[in-house]
Structure 1
Amino acid sequence: MSSDNHQSTLRGTEDIVECSQGSNQISQLPKRSTAYEKERSNFLTWEGRHDPLNPRNWSKARKWTTVIIVSLFTFNSHVISTMIAPALPYIGQDLHINTSFEQALVLSVFVAAYILGPLFWGPFSEVYGRIPVVQVSNAWLLCFNLGCGFAQNKQQILAFRFLAGVGGSAPQAIGAGLLGDLFIPEVRGRALSIYSIAPLLGPAVGPILGGYITVSTTWRWIFYSTTISCGVVQASQLLFLRESYAPVLLHRKQKMMIEHTGNTSLYTEHDHLGRSFKHTIAIALTRPFRMLATHTIVQLLAVYLAYLYGMNYLILSSFPLLWSDIYHQSIGAQSLNYLSLGIGFCLGAQISAYLQDSIYMRLKRRYVVDGGPGRPEFRAPVIIPGAIIMPVGLLIYSWTAEAHTHWVGPNIGAAIYAAGAIISFQAVRGYLVDAYTTYAASAIGAATILQSIAGFGFPLFAPSMYKTLGFGKGGTLLAVCAIVIGWPSPLLLWIFGERLRARSLLEA
């Protein structure tokens, strides 16, 4: 019997008891009340605020250890995605990859795999649990990333890079859902802020490391070194990570209680006993597509995340053109400029961490009575400072580059842009996690489809745009897009978000 059927039975029992009249009520009440109590006694859930099995009752040390390890996996994946950027000419020379487009494809094909991976990593984590999927996907990344280091031709490195990206895409879908497992909404903002640094900081740090490794040794050591870091992450996962997904944990508790008591009538709110395993897997794997096809709020936020993510990779792809062709810096000096993005991301993350939790609590006190749950729309105001800062940073970056000012000028603009981008990025992801806590992995996976398409596609047209329009006009065009897309978004989300969510129905 499913949880919905159980709840219907309970409601039906209550209605019969309430509607019974006269002597008939007296004779029937004890039996129905006993059945009702028996039904209730078979329902398994968390045992209050101190249940040690509930991940939200874990110690702070255990929670933050989990956050840090999963963040390291995410960071490692995104470092790998861009670390080869300074080495592309050397890779092209050794593997006979002659055109700039094909070299750019070696870089961005890793991100193209982010389109595919979350579509099954996320749903599998909602069937088998978070930790098995995290461990398998990291091992997958390790193996195929090592294969890139041994590649002997163009076909091999493109294939291995794509397959490595499939493994590296798992944290894109699972990470935010895992944080939803561990933290209540009132304190989730800080955890999301720390975790969300990884997908934006990684691409900034990667080229710095890649530049110095390329100069010091060979481009193959980029892959060897990152494979070693994958091994370190894998070891930490095996030692310290524990399952956090509530339906899986409650199912384990159910099996243990059945074995101990022999009571096969025990059930949880997540049971779907009328479903076959094949049907359960099919529903899980199609859930991200159904969300993207039918949930208007997911569609809109997916477009916004795609814009933010694509812009990040576009700015990253413009760095080699700027620092090599315009400022004529060496590879080592070029890579240091990526620090400006890293500084901006870290600064923005700290601002976002404070704003998300403080604004959420303030709005909850103002709009929610009797201590009820908050609303995902309480994340919307945090988007505002990010949306304002982004175009300012883009204009400073672009026009100082156009004017060939001191190299500090474009770096200041890049840092301001990065701070605004991560503030908005974290707020939108926080909204999705709040709106789809149990199925947050599928919601993030659905958004990642468009996000990854943008991350793959934007760098491919960036060089042509800057060469045609110049840095000044090209950056102004991007700033105008940032204003048109970014400024109305938080207001529309605040006004229409709840109604759009109410229109969305999902088969669990």
Structure 2
Amino acid sequence: MQSFLQYRKFRHNLEEQIQRHGLNKVAGCATQPDTDREHPLEAGGRNEDELLPAEEGIQPRDHATEEKELENEKPPQRQENGTALLAPPFNGFSQQTRGHRASSTNGSLHHTNTRDTSLSRASSRATSRANSTASRPNYLSTATTRSTIGARLGQTLTGVDVRTRKTNEGGPERGKVFVVAYQGPDDPLNPHNWSITKRVAITLLVASIGLIVGVASSIDSAAIPQASKEFHVSEVTESLATAIYLVGFGIGAFTAAPVSETVGRNPVYLVTMLLFMIWVMASALAPNIGAQLVFRFLAGYFGSTPLTCAGGSISDMWDATQRTAVFPLFANAAFWGPILGPIMGGFIAENVSWRWCEWITLIWAGGILIALFFFLPETYAPILLSWKAQHLRSITGNERYKSALEVQDTKFKDRLIHNFYRPFQLFVYEPIVVLFTLYLTVVYIVLFTFLTGYEYIFSDTYGLSQGVTFLIFVTLGIGFGFATAFVPWVFKRYQRNLAKVQEEGGTHLPPEQRLIFAMMGAPALPIGLFWLAWSARPSVSIWCPIISNLPIGFAIMCIFISSYQYLIDAFEAYAASALVGATFIRYIAAGGMIPASIPLYENVGVPWTVTLLGAVSLLMAPVPYIFYYFGARIRKRSRYAASV
């Protein structure tokens, strides 16, 4: 609904822009003769036997012939308020675009197809009659401007580039194209220029999607004992319901990105949220373990959209500096979801039924879907510019107004293929992608193995109930809050460094400036894990292992924020592929580790299982420091990364 209203408002705003630039005045002067003069082409000005080419059935010529004439033609004169004015050329292209007839009535434009040759013939007839009749003025300039004002619109409005088509756009033989862009940096149609309140609200809406799909990813893990008992399977088998959801998350990332870049963000969010809800409902009604696993996989597949598209939605509205402060909003929602899931699921499964874990998720998701339907606008620039080009074609009657997305005319199948193989290319050839993907994978393995591990760490060791055990996840959230508290400091630091670069003639900071958060959090993760591993024992107060979750949560948030933003800035045009690959690998790995963690905790024990996680995180801790100091050199040797 919001997108539909936005589409209608888009045309209204565009018409206002056109009026502010005087297009109606230009069109009226170009197409209408003076009212106190008799036009030579009216009924009284031509003989009955002189038929216009349109009446003779002459067919219009192709654009190639038209382009050649227009390029060789001198800019025509037009009559405005009795003064002859020379209209400036538009990028070397005549401001007249033949093949249409425009008329203006009360400021509105109406377009009717005519013939190219009609203009020249009508002009010659008008000229001969004017020369033979001294009492009649010369209407040559008026007659020759009876054509579409489409090209003149490009001259009048900024943000329209007339150029020859490139090879990947059909080649020069297809003629020129009017590529539509925003009208300068202050264009109100650009989401970057929306009010801060509106952009924050949209960001929170997108974050709410990340929150609910995160809740769905983990809420079943707290109900494993009850669900496994009902389905008569082991707890390891039932843990696959959580694992398979994460696998669906990873696989779904490959299709969400190209679809959003074809039809826009808004339809993808709405449709995938609806399908996500359908499969969550099916999971609640699952008659057996097989059906539950299939439905959970499909729910994860369609729930992957926010983690794939949210970065793009945020970039649609916020510049690089602003993202430093805004992205943590989404990051907190993305990680609070997996934390709230087991907290809710533990009490629901213990006191009601494990199926109500799914029903509560469905109700919550329904509320978010309603909010998205009414309040979430489209933010993807290529789609917005496609709307603008469509409206310009409607207003001017000139079909050559195209957005950059329409000019390229890339098929969805091709985008899907590229989206499948390019992430693997980046993972093979780019050390930045390899190491940060592995680092994020370690972080996610730590987080999601806690879903099964907390029962061994706290329930078996200290005898806590199911609900109270998972309530301890709140301490991870408090750690997230500590990391978020550093956002203002990091934001101001980024602004100061950017100002210094701009004073020296630069335009933006190198991507390595994004790694400050990760450098703060990298030591905290192994510290927290080693602390938890050797303090979780009956002889030690329960508060000691509980407090160890604070540095773990702090590190998880810091590493995630830095890694995502560094990949976006380092790969720019290929950032989507880098993030898709990272999403796929970390969720597949985390999903595989959930059922594997249960035998580890049972057979190896809590101390050594958590110590193993701490050792792997310690091995990855130098990654942000290495790239902070040597990242620029590594990017210069990269075939995909930006060499800023």
> In structure 2, which of residues 181, 184, 194 is the aligned counterpart of residue 48 of structure 1?
184
Task: Find the aligned partners of 1:87 and 1:123 in 2 and give their Cα distance.
Answer: 35
Query: Does the aligned pair in 1 maintain the 2:390–2:402 contact within 8 Å?
Result: no
Aligned to 1:156: 291
Task: Find the aligned partners of 1:480 and 1:170 in 2 and give their Cα distance.
Answer: 32
Task: Find the aligned partners of 1:316 and 1:274 in 2 and give their Cα distance.
Answer: 45
Q: Whose strand fraction is larger, Structure 1's or Structure 2's?
A: 2
Aligned to 1:237: 372
Query: Does the aligned pair in 1 maintain the 2:239–2:595 contact within 8 Å?
Result: yes
Aligned to 1:309: 444
What is the identity percentage for the equivalent residue pairs of Structure 1 and Structure 2? 26
SS of the equivalent of 1:127 reads helix
How does 1:70-85 map onto structure 2 within 5 Å? 70-85=206-221
Task: Find the aligned partners of 1:113 and 1:344 in 2 and give their Cα distance.
Answer: 28
How does 1:99-248 map onto structure 2 within 5 Å? 99-248=234-383
The question of 1:357 aligning with 2:415 is answered no
- CA gap of 1:494–1:309, structure 2 versus 1, over 3 A, is farther
TM-score of the two chains, using structure 2 as the length reference: 0.69
Aligned to 2:601: 466
- Farther off after superposition, 132-141 or 374-383: 374-383
Q: What amino acid sits opposite 1:80 in the alignment? A: A
Structure with bigger gyration radius? 2
Task: Find the aligned partners of 1:275 and 1:180 in 2 and give their Cα distance.
Answer: 22
Aligned to 1:457: 592
Task: Find the aligned partners of 1:294 and 1:102 in 2 and give their Cα distance.
Answer: 37
- CA gap of 1:159–1:130, structure 2 versus 1, over 3 A, is same
- CA gap of 1:206–1:300, structure 2 versus 1, over 3 A, is same
- CA gap of 1:371–1:451, structure 2 versus 1, over 3 A, is same
Aligned to 1:94: 230
Query: Does the aligned pair in 2 maintain the 1:204–1:339 contact within 8 Å?
Result: yes
Q: What amino acid sits opposite 1:362 in the alignment? A: R
Cα-to-partner distance string for 1:457-489 (whole Å, 9 max, x where unaligned)? 222332333344433333333223222212243
The question of 1:372 aligning with 2:507 is answered yes
Q: What amino acid sits opposite 2:494 in the alignment? A: Y
Quote how far apart the aligned CAs of 1:331 are.
1.6
- CA gap of 1:120–1:292, structure 2 versus 1, over 3 A, is farther
Query: Does the aligned pair in 2 maintain the 1:288–1:443 contact within 8 Å?
Result: yes
Q: For structure 1, list consecutive stretches of 5 or more residues without a partner in the other structure.
A: 1-12, 14-29
Quote how far apart the aligned CAs of 1:312 are.
1.4
Cα-to-partner distance string for 1:334-391 (whole Å, 9 max, x where unaligned)? 122111112112222332x234423322332344532512222210222111001111
Q: What amino acid sits opposite 1:92 in the alignment? A: S
Computed over aligned residues only, the root mean square deviation of the Cα atoms, in angstroms, reads: 2.6
Cα-to-partner distance string for 1:439-469 (whole Å, 9 max, x where unaligned)? 5444321211111122212223323333444
- Farther off after superposition, 33-42 or 107-116: 33-42
Query: Does the aligned pair in 2 maintain the 1:180–1:440 contact within 8 Å?
Result: no
Quote how far apart the aligned CAs of 1:191 are.
1.5
Task: Find the aligned partners of 2:184 and 2:628 in 1 and give their Cα distance.
Answer: 34
Aligned to 1:34: 92
Query: Does the aligned pair in 2 maintain the 1:390–1:479 contact within 8 Å?
Result: yes
SS of the equivalent of 2:522 reads helix
- Farther off after superposition, 282-291 or 61-70: 282-291
- Farther off after superposition, 401-410 or 290-299: 290-299
- CA gap of 1:386–1:36, structure 2 versus 1, over 3 A, is farther
Aligned to 2:204: 68
- Give the paired residue count: 476
Aligned to 2:535: 400
- Farther off after superposition, 258-267 or 370-379: 258-267
Query: Does the aligned pair in 2 maintain the 1:56–1:182 contact within 8 Å?
Result: yes
Task: Find the aligned partners of 1:230 and 1:259 in 2 and give their Cα distance.
Answer: 39
Quote how far apart the aligned CAs of 1:69 are.
1.1
- CA gap of 1:55–1:442, structure 2 versus 1, over 3 A, is farther
Aligned to 2:137: none
Query: Does the aligned pair in 1 maintain the 2:251–2:584 contact within 8 Å?
Result: yes
- CA gap of 1:243–1:90, structure 2 versus 1, over 3 A, is same
Q: What amino acid sits opposite 2:195 in the alignment? A: S
TM-score of the two chains, using structure 1 as the length reference: 0.87
Quote how far apart the aligned CAs of 1:429 are.
0.6
